[in-house]
Chain A
Amino acid sequence: MVIKGLLYTKEHEWAKVEGDIATIGITDHAQEQLGEVTFVELPAVGREVVQKDEIGVVESTKAASDIFSPITGTVTEVNTKLKTSPEIINDDCYGQGWFCKIRITDKASLKNLLDAAQYEEYLKGL
């Protein structure tokens, strides 16, 4: 499942941009691949990140996967619910299972991201 209106990376993160804040998460394809998520490592609030910086880890019973920031900015909020209920990522990866929020400091970094149609096309090629 790919949601229209979101931006995507080839590493299967999504970003929802509202004003200068982007909400970040992992895609349905990513959670399908991982299986049951059992642990999430979140970035520190206030951390400044550059696009493609590693900002956390999602681990399932079978694999560990790094999360890379889709954009350049400052982490303003993290989804602390994931610490005790990481399975929300499996249940609702585009909604309740969001990962963190980042205040965009470099809008140009958005240009490198895929739109829903491009991401869907990319998935077909995998």
Chain B
Amino acid sequence: MRAAGTFIFEAKMKLPAGSVLYDEHLKLTNKSHIAEFAGYLMPLWFSSISAEHSAVRQQAGIFDCTHMGILETSGKNAEAFLNAITTNDVAALQVGSAQYSYILDAAGNVLDDIIIYRRGNNKFIVVVNAANEPKFNAYLDALLAGQAIVDLSKPRQLEFAKTRDMRDINSGSDCRVDIALQGPESVEVLGKIDRAVSKQAESLKSFTFFETKLVGIDCIISRTGYTGAKIGFEIFVHPESAAKMWNLLIEAGAVPCGLGARDSLRVEAGLPLYGHELDGPFNISPFEAGYGWAVKLTKEFFIGKATAEKTAKSYDMKVARIELPGEKGIRPVRQNDGMLINGIGTGFVLSSATAGNRQIALVYAIKEKIVEGTPVGVYYLARSESQKKMGKKENIDLGEKYDADINGKIVSRFEKF
């Protein structure tokens, strides 16, 4: 049984298409390193995941994020509309600033985590996960048609604002796709292209942006990203300028990186991925993910608020980060493996990655047991028929006893770089 107000979305099957940078990727890497992700053919890695991971930590890397959904919401109702459909406070968002936020349905389920950029009083960009974009569009359509519940407690009308797909070059003249430049040398990379622009980028505070031109290409440059890098930018350009910008950044010294490093970097940093640390099989809420601050319960209304108010007071599991040995020859931990404290099942692995000589895993664990520095073990679930025959279990239960296969400790929720 799903809770009342749950938005149900059935994804349509579609053939994967190359991102707008697909031809550029084929120049740089073997086709076997390209795989389908959220309906797009995307590079998993160019050289290797570990080399690209360290390039972002030590130099600068670029990522094809042109698959990310980019929507423009504009008009006099834009602020009120976004404020009603997202959890953070859009009214408090200044022009030139960006805000991390959530879209919930009326039942309080997380439909997506997003970033909203305010370009003007009545002009916003909403960046949504590639995998969730079709669902988000269907949700907007359902709200507009009055088919999705807005408020379970009383009838409520939304003030709708015009929303446009900025990646669609037929939607208007100002179109955008996202290329991310991340890592300590990002400013130097920009500086090789345009000194003045790099200076301006360097002065950006986290979650702010400016609009400029780089070698004649219209750009929105924002100090945002998904790698945990202290210095990193997302550069929004017209889809037809994406290949030029991509190559320009590579010529200026940025290392092309694939989805593999994008994932290992975000896991190391502690950043959530929708479907793993948000929503997903455990239906993880923003509070459990560690982002309660992005859900402003003081707002008069937003879709899903009633459930969010209850969740905020009542959750007993939380996302935590653990560190384990990760040298070559050590079996990697994987999603769903069991996290143990004193040999007792205490949580589940949500995501994991190798970062240098250590593995970092994000786990969903009993809230009161999460104390930084606490020794933990991980029980590897059976991954093959022969392991099952040898008695390895296919899932673990909280509170049951298991023998740890590898030992580590709980570390801070986020990594500081």
Q: Do A and B bind each other?
A: yes
With a cutoff of 8 Å between Cβ atoms, the chain B residues found around residue A41 in the complex are: 331
> Out of A29, A61, A66, A86, which one reaches B49, CB within 8 Å?
A61
In the bound complex, CA of A85 to CA of B329 (Å): 6
In the bound complex, CA of A62 to CA of B328 (Å): 14
Interface assignment of B77: CB less than 8 Å from any CB of chain A? no
> Out of B44, B330, B353, B386, which one reaches A35, CB within 8 Å?
B44
> Out of B32, B45, B328, B384, which one reaches A38, CB within 8 Å?
B328
Contact with A along B34-69 (1 / 0, CB 8 A): 000000000011001110000000000000000000
Interface assignment of B162: CB less than 8 Å from any CB of chain A? no
Q: Are B44 and A84 in contact (CB under 8 A)?
A: no
- The size of the chain A interface, using a CB distance under 8 A, is 21
With a cutoff of 8 Å between Cβ atoms, the chain A residues found around residue B44 in the complex are: 35, 62
Q: Give B317-340 interface residues, CB cut-off 8 Å to A.
A: 326, 328-332, 334
With a cutoff of 8 Å between Cβ atoms, the chain A residues found around residue B300 in the complex are: none
Given A61-B260, A86-B329, check contact A35 B383 (CB 8 Å): no
In the bound complex, CA of A42 to CA of B353 (Å): 23
Q: Are A38 and B330 in contact (CB under 8 A)?
A: yes
In the bound complex, CA of A62 to CA of B45 (Å): 11
Given A61-B353, A85-B329, check contact A35 B384 (CB 8 Å): no
Q: Are B45 and A35 in contact (CB under 8 A)?
A: yes
* Majority DSSP secondary structure for residues of B touching A: loop
Q: Are A38 and B33 in contact (CB under 8 A)?
A: no
Q: Give A42-75 interface residues, CB cut-off 8 Å to B.
A: 54, 57, 59, 61-62, 64, 66
Q: Are B383 and A57 in contact (CB under 8 A)?
A: yes
Size class of the B contact interface (CB-based, 8 Å): 20 to 34
Q: Are B32 and A29 in contact (CB under 8 A)?
A: yes
Q: Are A59 and B331 in contact (CB under 8 A)?
A: yes
Given A83-B329, A86-B328, check contact A62 B384 (CB 8 Å): no
> Out of B50, B260, B264, B384, which one reaches A54, CB within 8 Å?
B384
Interface assignment of B354: CB less than 8 Å from any CB of chain A? yes
With a cutoff of 8 Å between Cβ atoms, the chain A residues found around residue B384 in the complex are: 54, 57, 64, 66
In the bound complex, CA of A66 to CA of B44 (Å): 21
In the bound complex, CA of A61 to CA of B359 (Å): 10
Nearest CB in chain A to that of B326: its residue: A38
> Out of A29, A33, A84, which one reaches B328, CB within 8 Å?
A84
In the bound complex, CA of A66 to CA of B385 (Å): 9
Q: Are A39 and B49 in contact (CB under 8 A)?
A: no
Q: Are A61 and B354 in contact (CB under 8 A)?
A: yes
Interface assignment of B30: CB less than 8 Å from any CB of chain A? yes
Q: Are B50 and A39 in contact (CB under 8 A)?
A: no
Pairs A–B under 8 Å by Cβ, sample size 28: A32-B30, A32-B32, A32-B33, A33-B32, A35-B33, A35-B49, A36-B48, A36-B49, A38-B326, A38-B330, A38-B332, A38-B354, A39-B330, A40-B329, A41-B331, A57-B383, A57-B384, A59-B331, A61-B332, A61-B353, A61-B354, A62-B49, A64-B332, A64-B383, A84-B329, A85-B329, A86-B329, A87-B328
A-B residue pairs, 7 tightest by C-beta = A39-B331, A32-B32, A84-B329, A61-B354, A66-B384, A61-B49, A54-B386
